[in-house]
Structure formats: C-alpha cells, structure tokens
Structure 1
C-alpha cells in the first residue's frame, strides 16, 4: 500500500569523485551496491560519467609538448569519459544497455534495461550539458550532479574561507557566479553551457556531494537533503 513510485533519474557522476588521481574503487564499490539496491525497487538510472584527473593530465601533457587547440583538449576529455563510462558499464553488465550513450541520438529509451551509461559527446561543453540534454530528450525534469562540492557556493570554497553555501538559486543568479564561456578543464558545479540549456529547457539540477550516498538516497526519496537546487524560480 505504501509502495514507492518507480522513477527515472539522471546522475552526472563527477570524475573528481569516481576517477580522481586513480580509480576510486572504494567509492565505486559502494556506488555499485547502492544503484543495484535502487534498481531492485524498480527505479531506472542514466549515469553520465565525467573525465576525472586523467583528463587534465592528458591536456597538460599535450600542451607541454606543443600548442593545442581547445577543441583537441575537449576531445581528450571526451575520450577519457568514454573509457570511464565503459568501465562503469562493465560493472553493471547485467543491468545496463551494452551501448555507451556517446552521442545524442544513439539511444531513445531504456528498453529492457534499468541503467544507461553515458559519456561526453562533442567539444564545447562538459558532461553536465550531456546529462541535461538527455533529461530534455527523455522528458526527465531534473538532473542530479554528484561532484566534489556539497553545494553551490558564493565563491570558490577551496580558495575563499568566506564562501557560503547556497541552498536554492535561480539559473539567472547562478550564471552571475561563473564564467560565461566554456573552456576545457573549467571547474564549476555546472558548466555555463549546461546552465543555459537547463534554463531554456526548464530542467532542475541538484548539486550534491558525490561521496555521500546516504544523502543521495534522501534525494531519490524526495526527502530533505544537503545540496543546492538550481531552477528557473528559486522557490521551486
């Protein structure tokens, strides 16, 4: 009688959490078990993988050898996300579509699967943009971005002790806090291209600490959680 409604979720899994200096097997094991429990409840997930530290290592190494175009730096990042996505698809082999969602029109639905694993698509934006574009195409009204920061802050919380967490923020106000243009390696909770797309498509985004799976459980259940809600209107 109190059976919870089965739902579809999109998670942008930050590379800084899953693939920092080395593959974070401790976290990924917990994440794997967490998602397995959730799909047993009937929930379905699209998980879009970030690139992680290896992306910046490749970009830096190439730049130390020769002048590298931003487009090529983006492609290095995209291929890093594709390897990470295939790694995650390997873990969820039984539950996930065998195809990595690496371009916009490659998949149009879940089919018989409970999980779809996505990666970067094209130069010019991060995997945040990919997750939000998929949300629009799949008619899912929100995206959960799991990264290093627990919130969107008034400033870079790693550099500014006075930076304050923000619980709710409109896309318009958020865009005042970040650079207006995308650059490879840009480090923001949601990249500027993704933010503008989310506002245009009226997609709500939740920014939360990726390591806190108990908090993620609260998000999925619609309970009070630690994190920032970004939307067209701050009262949503």
Structure 2
C-alpha cells in the first residue's frame, strides 16, 4: 500500500526548520511501519518559510512581482526541505529526491521523497502526479490548518469548517489559477488534475500527530475530504 502525502513547507519549516516536528514525525512513521510491513510512503515537500523569505528578498531587490523567477525560487526551497526530509528518513529512503514526477522509476525503499518540479504549480500537483503514477487513490495534504473552511476563519468569524466537499464546489472556492506563494488549502492546478483522474484529497493538520496516526490507520479523523 502506497500512501502519498503532500507535506506542507509550513509544517517542515514554518520559519526555520521545526526539528521537534521532524523528530516526532519520523517516530510516527516508524510506528506505522511496525504495524504494517507492506506500507510505503511518498512524501512531497513544500517550500514553507524559506520560499517566502527568498521570494520576498527577490521582489525587494528587483522590484519584481509574482513571476516565473519567484516561482523558481519557491521550487528550489522545496528541494532544500525535501533533501532534509530524505536525510532524516535514513535507511527507509534509498532513492534520490524526485524532482520530475514524470520520470520516476519503481519505489525501491519504504519511503520516496519528492520536491517541486517547475514553475506553474505547487508541489501539490507533483503529489497528484505521483499518486497517479503509483496508483494511489488519494493524496493526504498536511498543512497548518486542520480542515478546509467556507472562508478564511482568520478574517471571517462566521466561516464554517467543512468535513466533505465535492471537487466542483472546492474548485469554485480556490479558482483555476496558480500564483507563487498563494495560500489555498490545495493548489488549483493540482485540484483540476485530481478531479479529472478521480483522486480524493484529504486535508488535515500536519502537526496533530495523534490525528495523523488515526488517519494512517484508517480510523475516524479530523479533516476535510475532497472529491
């Protein structure tokens, strides 16, 4: 069984690297492996704080806006974070970090780590492509929000959490355009492809490890199911 996880950069490196989270996350993956020797994980890592910081610096120096260069900076930040995640996974991950999800061979170890590919979409899209490649029926999207809301709860106190939502309704919320650094629960480009090929996406809080354990084990969990 292959579980594909889009692991948000806001979880791995919200500002600097969250060492405690990584330590506890590795321990959780170890527990899952002990319970199920056939389980395999693919982690696709986002850019997080490093992406935002370096993109901000680029714009400050050049006066540039949201463009392809800013997008490339974000891609490179995902690769730095992914290399770190590969390293902490140790012997579970024997393959190089994947940077092109269309050119990946068989999954050799117990863990495969991937990063951003190229401008035009976020690492969420790479996760959907890898789920398609390895015939996974869903992508688990871990970020700093526990569920999708009807609106931004930080700005709208009347925003309501959503347990389940169709792809049509979700895409109406997030739109169809990708903007580097855009803060949406799941990338619009990734959403379009996931809807097209019939892959389900589950959004949940990445740092709620007891809830993640339930999710990985097939027990009731807190999160939003899309599709």
Tell me, yes or no, whether TM beats 0.5: yes
Q: Which residue of 2 aligns with 1:104?
A: 101
Structural mapping, 1:37-186, within 5 Å: 37-40=31-34, 41-42=36-37, 43-66=39-62, 67=64, 70-111=67-108, 113-186=109-182
Report if aligned partners of 1:108, 1:138 keep a CA contact under 8 Å in 2: no
1:224 to 214, 220, 223: 220
Report if aligned partners of 1:97, 1:117 keep a CA contact under 8 Å in 2: no
Q: CA deviation at 1:69?
A: 5.7
Report if aligned partners of 2:102, 2:129 keep a CA contact under 8 Å in 1: no
Report if aligned partners of 2:151, 2:159 keep a CA contact under 8 Å in 1: yes
Q: Helix, strand or coil: the match of 2:169?
A: helix
Kindly indicate whether residue 27 of structure 2 is the aligned counterpart of residue 33 of structure 1: yes
Q: CA deviation at 1:13?
A: 0.7
Distance 1:68 1:159, change over 3 A: closer
**Total equivalences in the alignment:** 224
1:14 to 4, 8, 22: 8
Structure 2 CA distance for aligned equivalents of residues 200 and 164 of structure 1: 27
Q: CA deviation at 1:144?
A: 0.3
Structure 2 CA distance for aligned equivalents of residues 161 and 53 of structure 1: 26
Q: Helix, strand or coil: the match of 1:145?
A: strand
Q: Which residue of 1 aligns with 2:186?
A: 190
TM-score, structure 1 as length reference: 0.92
Q: Helix, strand or coil: the match of 1:10?
A: strand
Q: Which residue of 2 aligns with 1:234?
A: none
Structure 1 stretches of at least 4 aligned residues deviating more than 4 Å after TM superposition? none
* Structure 2 residues not aligned, in runs of 5+: none
Q: CA deviation at 1:68?
A: 5.0
Q: CA deviation at 1:39?
A: 2.2
Structure 2 CA distance for aligned equivalents of residues 174 and 84 of structure 1: 28
